[in-house]
Chains A and B, each alone.
Chain A
Amino acid sequence: MNTDIPALRLEGIVKTFPGVRALDGVSFTVQPGEVHALMGENGAGKSTLMKVLGGIYQPDEGQIFIAEEATVMTSPLHAKARGVVFIHQELSLADELSVAENIFLGELPRKSFGRVDWDKLFNDTNAILTTLNVGFDAQTRVGDLSIANQQMVEIARALTVDPRAVIFDEPTASLTDAEKVVLFDVIADLKSRGVGIIYISHRMEEIFKITDRISVLRDGQYRGTVKTSETDEDKVTQLMIGRSLDLSRSVSEHEVGKVALEVRGLSCGNLYNDVNFTVRRGEVVGFYGLVGAGRTEIAETIFGLRTPSTGTILLDGEEVRINSPIDAIRRGISLVPEDRKGQGLVLGMNCRDNMTLPQVDDMTAGPFVSDGAEVAIFDQYRDKLDIRTPGWRQLVGNLSGGNQQKIVIGKWLSMHPNVLIVDEPTRGIDVGSKSEIHNLIRDLAAQGYAVIVISSEMPEVLHVADRIIAMYHGRIMREFTAEEVTEDSLIQAISGIESDKVA
Chain B
Amino acid sequence: MNKEILLKQGGIWAFILVELIFFTVAGNFLSTSDKSFMDFDNMLLLLKQSAPIGIIALGMTIVMINGNIDLSVGATFALSAIVLLDSMTWPFMKEMGDWSIPLAWAFALATGTVLGAINGLIVWKTGVDAFIVTLGSMLGFRGLVFMYNGEQPTSHLNWTLVDFAEAQFLGLHTATWFLLGAALLLWLLMTKTVHGRNAYAIGNNREAAVNAGIRVGPHFLINFMLIGFLASLSAVVFYSESGSVNPNDGMLYELWAITAVVLGGTKLTGGYGSIVSTLGGVIAIQLLRKGLGHIGADTETVNLVIGLILIAVLFLDKQLNRKGKEELKV
Contacts and interface: CB of A to CB of B under 8 A. Distances in A.
B220 interface: no
A467 B205 CA distance: 34
A17 interface: yes
Interface in A350-368: 353, 357-358, 360-361, 364, 367-368
B193 A368 contact: yes
A343 B194 contact: no
Contacts of B1: 390-391, 393-394
Interface in B179-238: 188, 192-194, 197-198, 200-201, 204-205, 207-215
B211 A344 contact: yes
Given A18-B327, A353-B197, A346 B192 contact: no
Contact of B328 (A328, A364, A398, A411): A398
B6 interface: no
B205 A342 contact: yes
A393 B5 CA distance: 11
Interface in B154-192: 188, 192
A345 B213 contact: no
A interface: dominant SS: mixed
Interface string A322-333: 001110111000
Interface residues of B, number: 27
A83 to B, nearest CB: 27
Nearest to B4: A395
A406 B215 CA distance: 24
A59 to B, nearest CB: 14
Given A22-B330, A360-B198, A361-B194, A326 B207 contact: no
A50 interface: no
A502 interface: no
Given A353-B197, A367-B193, A326 B330 contact: no
Given A346-B205, A360-B197, A325 B213 contact: yes
Residue among A325, A342, A353, A398 with max Cβ neighbours from chain B (10 Å): A325
A314 interface: no
Contacts, number: 84
Given A349-B200, A368-B188, A394-B1, A360 B209 contact: no
Contacts of A394: 1
Interface string B257-295: 000000000000001100000000000000000000000
A1 interface: no
A279 to B, nearest CB: 20
A337 B188 contact: no
Nearest to B206: A346
Contacts of A344: 208, 211
A369 interface: yes
Contact of B204 (A22, A305, A347, A358): A347
Interface in A264-315: 303, 305
A327 to B, nearest CB: 9
A503 interface: no
Sorted from nearest, which 3 A-B pairs have the closest CB atoms?
Answer: A368-B192, A329-B213, A358-B212
Interface of A: 17-18, 20, 22, 47-48, 303, 305, 324-326, 328-330, 335, 337, 342-349, 353, 357-358, 360-361, 364, 367-369, 390-391, 393-394, 398, 411
28 contacts: A47-B329, A303-B211, A324-B213, A325-B211, A325-B213, A329-B212, A329-B213, A337-B211, A342-B205, A342-B207, A343-B208, A343-B211, A349-B204, A353-B197, A353-B201, A357-B197, A357-B201, A357-B212, A357-B214, A358-B213, A361-B194, A364-B193, A367-B192, A369-B193, A390-B1, A393-B1, A394-B1, A398-B328
